[in-house]
Structure 1
């Protein structure tokens, strides 16, 4: 026998919430490492030391779980870049960029597995990066310091640098968020804007 005959969705207590959280954590790790197509529900439940019926208490299927993770990343990412935009001020441009890059790298660092899914693996990732690039353009477009630059190129190259450095230096723990922000500032901005 061995199969639970409990009705679907009965777990709303803390034990059930722990099971759901564990499934999300393990799924995030496995999707991040193996990708969507190579990760099976059986891999997720085995990693979480739970059963497939438990999985189906919380998720319709693998795709719905994956889409939940993508939505979670997207919402958190957009919240972070909107915060960056709302905190932009007319002060020192280099200090503002450094602070904002640090915030972004800390966000990526706080959940590297989810970032790998949402910022690197999904079809929506390009749309998020485009939106991020548009935000950078918006923040920099009226700044006198950038009058001689094609802001679109600055924005796209900055997004590309952030993407690559996050993957190769932040996730490998070779650099801390503040260090990466400083190195980008030195590479892109310091020579032109620091007096």
Structure 2
């Protein structure tokens, strides 16, 4: 059986996909993040092993390398291993790194997407990300790039009509300054 890399959605346990619930129902092990709602864990059997591997800004319970190694170890010992991640695993979720680690060990995997907060949060508040008369495009960027990188990758001058910044609270001043270099100060936010 493959390792299931599952996106848990933006926080509301009712927004997890049916496919994710079906995979969780047969889990032997669930490795879960800080951002994965505890209610979602109830879909796993009571006897399933639950391993917290949460990370949040400045508080890493485990490093990414440790998480990768733990997924590999559990996959070699158990048939149904779930890696449950907040949002979507491939939207700033480091899911790609986890899949590369599994591929290096020739461990099969399946990705079950989740609703990213970049879409789920504004939509749940009836805020259209695009609107024919106002915004015909959108960009999702990280507000917290790897501090060890020499060059930043966010192209603040090349963003779309609607700009969605994830993980940006800690750098709100810097992010706002960058946006203001390229946007009209009267732009609604």
Output the TM-score relative to the length of structure 1: 0.28
Output the TM-score relative to the length of structure 2: 0.28
1 or 2, which has the higher helix percentage? 1
1 or 2, which has the higher strand percentage? 2
